[in-house]
A and B are shown apart, each in its own frame.
Chain A
Amino acid sequence: MVIEVVSFRESTFKEIMDVLYRSLEDYSLQEGLRRTMANLVPAPYRVLANWSYIARLAEEIRGVKEEVIRNIDYYIDITIKNVKAYARGEGFYARTREDVYRIIDSILEDHKRRMIIVKAKSMVTEELKLREYLIEKGHEVYETDLGELLIQLLGDKPMHAIGPAIHIPKERAVMLTSKLGIKLARDAGHEDIVRGVREFLREKFVKADVGISGANAVAADTGSIVLVENEGNIRLSTSLPPVHIAVTGIEKIMPTLDYAIKQAIVQSGYAGLYPPTYLTVISGPSSTADIEFHRVYGAHGPHKFYLILYDGGRRMAVEHPYLWEQLLCIKCGRCQGECPIWELTANNWGGNVYGGPMGLAWTAIVEDKVKASHLALLCLECGLCKEVCPMKIDMPRIAHILKRELWQS
């Protein structure tokens, strides 16, 4: 593959810096970050000290992921076959955003015209702007992860891989939820906000026609997906509606279900949320064979299951001399919390979806390499992101090469 030569553009850099300067002066953002950092950063240390096998699993996972990425076409292929064979669902490979839209449109065409869709948080669907697309098509779409719902209400981008609303202090969250008609006192506490949102969303879960989720990992050998969460919103989104569509990146594929579960455990541990309240394996639609051992699909959970494996630049990255390594990322977000620049700016130092150290290569892969290179100019190359990364991705080196290429035109 050709290594593109990009060149320094003063206007691009100025745009980036303007956003960063505004972040430094944004009181609400700084206050939200300050409160969050005190809880976010120490959590993985406590987890890793308590459960020493998590670091061991991380090491094991890295090797397995490398093998999958080297043979990605093979793994995409057998995953799709096994979604049908074992998970009784339908698997798709989607190269572009438009491909994903087309697949989802065709799934939804089979059903009612205007639907209620409940969504679990997923960074890949952020890449796809899937919520916005479905709303434009006339559907009623609700993010059900509390942080992501706040992002939806704010019309902003997520500010962290697992905590999209870490920059929103509770006072602002109260104001945002009032847009849904949730009435809370101005000085409402965290618990009040959670209760208000729970009551609001409960009805949506019950009425929803379709549930959309991402996946923390995909098992090629069984066609299963693995999901980790604490809120319980993913379980409701993927079990109450009659149709479940999972959309995830091709790099989430693991060869076997045991490795997929291990990857989800590692992500949960390095995110500092361990043990996970819910670790879910979904292998297709719900079913029962309780009467005469005759299997009927569509019991209490969905009767249809679809898995869309999204490329969006990833397959190109597999061949790339240095960006390929970012495909090992399990998106735990730990590098973000530890980065001195991210600590002050959150994902404002980033592309449209991914920010912080992990965001440099991800932005280059899924969005815009020129922008990523300009963002990389700010990297301190201090190396802490690599040190704390469960996959030991050499993000400082990636940043250094991105910088270098800026000057090479």
Chain B
Amino acid sequence: MVYEWAYKLGIPRGGDTVIYTGALYQLLPYIRALASYLSKLEETAGVSVFLRVARKLGLEDVLARTIARVSEEDIRRQYEILERIALLLRRAGVDYGYLYEDDVYPGTVLYLLGLEDELRDYAREVYGRLKALNVKMLITIDPHTTHLMKHVYREMVEGYDIQVKSYVEVLAERELTPIRNVNSTIVIHDPCYYARYLNVVEEPRKLLRRGGLIVKDVARSGRLTSCCGGPLEFITPRLAESITRLRLEELKSAGENIVTLCPICYLRFSIAGNGSVSISDLADYLYTIYGD
């Protein structure tokens, strides 16, 4: 399920430079299902149930119930975003490969929960696999994986020497010519990790403006962006929902077309917006502007 989409595009296997998805986009339908399940749990059994899950007790049961809730449409939609990113990189003339079954999950949730001992061992394993495949540069596609691979792994794994760049940065560096002009106005929700941990703020704006889009910013944007509440989804869905609602209201005050650059933010706003507002991934707009 992690790499199906790449077969379709015939992305070559391996290479110095690879797209590394870290499986976050692919996991999204499952996260959505898990979140809806946890939300029910929180209502009926309080918070402690999930914490048992976090400590790997009763996990199988939760996963089984989660998988039953996953929507096929969600899976198709996430593949579509991945394909668009891959095609955009191809259009930009980037020479890259893909790791297929070695495009493994880097431990994003472990990191967010502070389960660092587990993450440290796991990170060494992931790094070992990447080194064995002679990977020198990762092109990441979401802020959490980018932060993890660029900063956290570097701190945790001795001798870590893999270069990491997000596809947004890679595309912004290239002088891509727009194929289509999109005359509309959008509001960007900067993800916390891109804006504050990775300093990726201007890149998406530059790419969108080149395609004719008017980018509107709310007061809390760029380095001062406000969180979508995502990291709390697994701990307290109820508090996470309240945070998402407040942020979405703020974004909506600037416009009805909201663009996210992180699958977690995308999910949070899609659920909270419930169709009342348009939520797009950056890749959707970029594909319209620059895609073939």
Contact = CB atoms under 8 A, between A and B. Distances in A.
Interface of A: 8, 10, 13-14, 17, 20-21, 24, 42, 45, 338, 340-341, 343-345, 376-378, 380-384, 386-388, 400-404, 406-408
A378 B192 contact: no
Nearest to A20: B239
A338 B48 CA distance: 28
A20 B236 contact: yes
Interface of B: 46-48, 51, 55, 112-117, 192-193, 196-197, 219, 223-227, 229-232, 235-236, 238-239, 242-243, 246-247
A340 B114 contact: no
A14 B117 contact: no
| Shortest 5 CB-CB contacts between residues of A and residues of B | A403-B114, A382-B227, A382-B192, A383-B196, A404-B114
Nearest to A400: B114
A386 B192 CA distance: 12
A15 B116 CA distance: 25
Given A14-B47, A24-B238, A383 B246 contact: no
Given A343-B246, A383-B196, A8 B231 contact: no
Residue picked from B115, B225, B239, B247, most chain A C-beta under 10 Å: B239
Given A14-B48, A340-B247, A407-B114, A24 B242 contact: yes
A341 B239 contact: yes
Contacts of A8: 51, 55
Contacts of B116: 404, 407
Given A17-B236, A344-B243, 6 more contacts: A10-B48, A341-B239, A345-B239, A383-B193, A407-B55, A407-B113
Given A14-B47, A341-B243, A407-B117, A387 B238 contact: no
B46 A17 contact: yes
Contacts of A341: 232, 239, 243
Given A13-B47, A14-B46, A387-B196, A378 B114 contact: no
Given A13-B48, A340-B247, A383-B197, A378 B239 contact: yes
Contacts of A381: 112, 192, 231
Contacts of B51: 8, 10, 13
Given A13-B51, A340-B243, A408-B117, A384 B46 contact: no
Given A10-B51, A341-B243, A382 B226 contact: yes
Contacts of B113: 377, 403, 407
Nearest to A408: B117
Contacts of A14: 46-48
A406 B114 contact: yes
B48 A340 contact: no
Contacts of A383: 192-193, 196-197
Main secondary structure of the interface of A (DSSP, over half): helix
Contacts of B114: 376-377, 400-404, 406-407
Contacts of B247: 340
B192 A384 contact: yes
A276 to B, nearest CB: 25
Given A341-B239, A407-B117, A380 B47 contact: no
Contacts of B230: 380
Nearest to A376: B114
B225 A384 contact: yes
Contacts of B223: 387
A80 B238 CA distance: 50
A92 B286 CA distance: 65
B283 to A, nearest CB: 23
Contact of B235 (A377, A388, A400): A377
Contacts of A45: 219
Contact of A344 (B193, B231, B242): B242
A340 B238 CA distance: 13
Contacts of A386: 196
B238 A384 contact: no
Contacts of B196: 382-384, 386-387
Contacts of B226: 338, 340, 382, 384
B232 A380 contact: yes
A378 B224 contact: no
Contacts of B224: 384, 387-388
Contacts of B48: 10, 13-14
Nearest to B48: A10
23 contacts: A10-B48, A10-B51, A13-B48, A14-B48, A20-B239, A21-B238, A24-B238, A24-B239, A24-B242, A42-B219, A340-B229, A340-B243, A340-B247, A341-B239, A344-B239, A344-B246, A377-B114, A378-B236, A380-B230, A383-B193, A384-B192, A384-B224, A404-B114
Nearest to A24: B242
A45 B232 CA distance: 28
Given A13-B51, A341-B239, A343-B246, A380 B46 contact: no
Contacts of A404: 114-116
Nearest to B197: A383
Contact of B227 (A13, A376, A380, A402): A380
Residue picked from A14, A382, A387, A406, most chain B C-beta under 10 Å: A382
Residue picked from B47, B224, B235, most chain A C-beta under 10 Å: B47
A407 B116 CA distance: 8
Contacts of A402: 114
A38 B189 CA distance: 20
A407 B236 contact: no
A365 B7 CA distance: 54
Contacts of A378: 232, 235-236, 239
Contacts of B232: 341, 378, 380
A407 B46 contact: no
Nearest to A386: B196
A394 to B, nearest CB: 11
Nearest to B119: A404
B229 A380 contact: yes
A380 B231 contact: yes
Nearest to A406: B114
Nearest to B196: A383
A338 B238 CA distance: 20
A344 B244 CA distance: 11
A27 B207 CA distance: 44
A406 B197 CA distance: 24
Contacts of B227: 340, 380, 382, 384
